[in-house]
Amino acid sequence: MPFVKFSRQNRDQQFLPVRSKTNLELTVITHNVMGGVYADQIVEGYARNRLMPDIACFQEFSEDPNPLSIFKKYFGIEYGLAGSFTCKLPKRTFGVAVLYNKKLFSSIATHILRLPNPPLRPQEKIFSWLLSGNTKPYNRTALVMELNYLGRLLTVVNVHLSWEGGVSARRAQVGHIFQELEKLRIQGSVIFCGDFNMDAGSNGWDGFQSEFTKRGFRELSKDILWTHDNASRFAFPEDRTAGARGFLRMLGGLGLNTRDKIDYIFVKDFGASITTPVDVMGSDHWPIVTHLMPSTAKA
């Protein structure tokens, strides 16, 4: 993925207060939490913004007892948890997870889809080793949850696509997921979200996005300018040399654009929606929250 754009830093995005939900609305967030290294700061930000979504889709979520307990304590016993933790680095293991409000949803089925994972190219292998000591392909999976939502069928797809392998690798992963969804005969409303490692408007974006639009999905996060900052002080927590963080912060300080939009929410068979980023510290990603109206409800 691109780490810096040779343009001026875009600082025009505003973080609005999280609005209260109506009785008919469904609230969903997607958030890459960086392995929960700064989980206490993340949940502090959630609490400050009164952010308690009905469904929370996390990427780089760790099953390590310390961060896991912090998230579980914040969401409480009313929330169920499903996860797939298959990315193994020398110092930690992480993956994708979904927390859902058991008062609104009952779980029908959970599917873990193994994604086609590209081998690390030589330059990617060097970069990966510098950051985490890893030189092996990342074992990525997609988490698919079929839920009963007040008598309606709702499917949630949570992904963290490859940064390695280029656009073709990410498009192949998305295509594979849709093939598997067809095999599962998924019906009803679908939420497809996560960290796509694909900057909106970048080379190959139109073809990538078409994988969704040709299947009837619409992007809810299209008006969001950026969701991720490589120069964040929370970026690369496992950086072995501190070189990447220092270099990117220097570029950000010079005003070059180290921010990109790589986190998304796509939906199918939903009505009106309002989607905004939320100002939360503790990761180099900002969470996106959306308020959705079921397709049968009137706004």
- pLDDT attached to residue 240: 46
Domain assignment present for 138 = yes
pLDDT in tens, 18-53: 767 777 799 999 999 988 989 999 999 999 999 999
What integer pLDDT is reported at residue 39 of this predicted model? 95
Q: Which pLDDT value is given to residue 243?
A: 56
Q: Is 262 helix (H, G, I), strand (E, B) or coil?
A: coil
Question: Which CATH number fits the domain that encloses residue 113?
Answer: 3.60.10.10
Nearest by Cα to 85 from 57, 56, 61: 61
Number of domains in the chain: 1
Q: How many CB atoms lie within 10 A of CB 18?
A: 21
In a domain, 32, yes or no: yes
Domain of residue 151: give its range.
Answer: 5-294
Mean pLDDT along residues 90-101: 89
What integer is the mean pLDDT of 95-103?
97
Cα(155)–Cα(149) distance, integer angstroms = 10
Q: What is the CA radius of gyration of the chain?
A: 18
The answer on pLDDT for 1 being more than 50 is no
pLDDT of residue 298: 40
pLDDT tops 60 at residue 8: no
pLDDT average, residue stretch 160-168: 93
At how many degrees (to 10) do helices 166-183 and 205-213 cross?
10
pLDDT of 100 reads: 98
Whole-number pLDDT of residue 5 = 47
Does residue 299 fall inside a structural domain?
no
Structural domain contains residue 33: yes
Q: Is residue 262 part of a domain?
A: yes
Domain contains 85: yes
Give the distance, in angstroms, between the CA of residue 215 and the centroid of all CA atoms in the same chain.
21
Decide if 234 contacts 33 (C-beta within 8 A): no
Residue 299 has pLDDT above 60, yes or no: no
Q: Contact, 19 vs 53, CB < 8 A?
A: no
Q: What percent of the chain clears pLDDT 70, i.e. is strictly above it? A: 85
Give residue 2's pLDDT band: very low, low, confident or very high (50, 70, 90): very low
243-275 tens-digit pLDDT:
555 655 565 555 566 788 999 999 999 988 889
pTM of the model: 0.89
pLDDT of residue 7: 45
Whether 23 is covered by a domain: the verdict is yes
Cα–Cα distance, 277 to 213 (Å, whole number): 22
